[in-house]
Copies of this chain bind each other. A is one copy, B any other.
Amino acid sequence: MVKQLVVNTPGQGLHEITREVESLVREAKLSEGLCTIFVRHTSASLVIQENADPLAKRDLERWIARLVPEGDPFYTHDTEGPDDMPAHVKSALTATSLSIPIVGRSLALGAWQGIYLWEHRRRGGRRELVLHIGT
C-alpha cells in the first residue's frame, strides 16, 4: 500500500512525524510488515532521533548548521538563496528514505526514538512524503 503524507513546516529544524506515520500504519492493519518513508525533496530529509530531551534535537540542528554553514562563499549554486546549497548538502548527509519494521500493527521503534522530517530551508514549506507499507 502506498500513502501520501503532506507536512507543512514552519521553518528550519526537526519536525516530528511519528504520530502521523503511526496512524497510517495502524490503518493498514498488518500484524507484521515494513513501513518505508520517502521524502520527495532535496532540501529536506529524514532522521530518527531522541524524542525525550528537546536539547538533543536543538544541539543536532546547531551542530549541522556549524558543519554546513549558510552564506559560505565556497558555493557556486546560490541563485535560490544562501540556505539552498547547504540544504542540499545536509540532505545528502542524512536520509531520503527510512524503513521501519511493523510488529503487532505498530512501528518497531525503540523507547526513545522519534521520526523527524528535517527541514533545511529557512522559509519551510509544503513537504510531500510517500509511505510504502507492505508485508
* A residues in contact (CB < 8 Å) with B: 1-2, 32-34, 36, 38, 40-42, 47-50, 53, 55-56, 58-60, 62-64, 66-68, 74-77, 79, 85, 88-89, 91-103, 108-110, 112-113, 128, 130-132, 134-135
Contact = CB atoms under 8 A, between A and B. Distances in A.
A44 to B, nearest CB: 10
Contacts of A91: 48-49
Given A34-B134, A60-B89, A49 B53 contact: no
A60 to B, nearest CB: 6
A63 B74 contact: yes
A77 B95 contact: no
Most buried by B among A58, A128, A134: A134
A50 B40 CA distance: 11
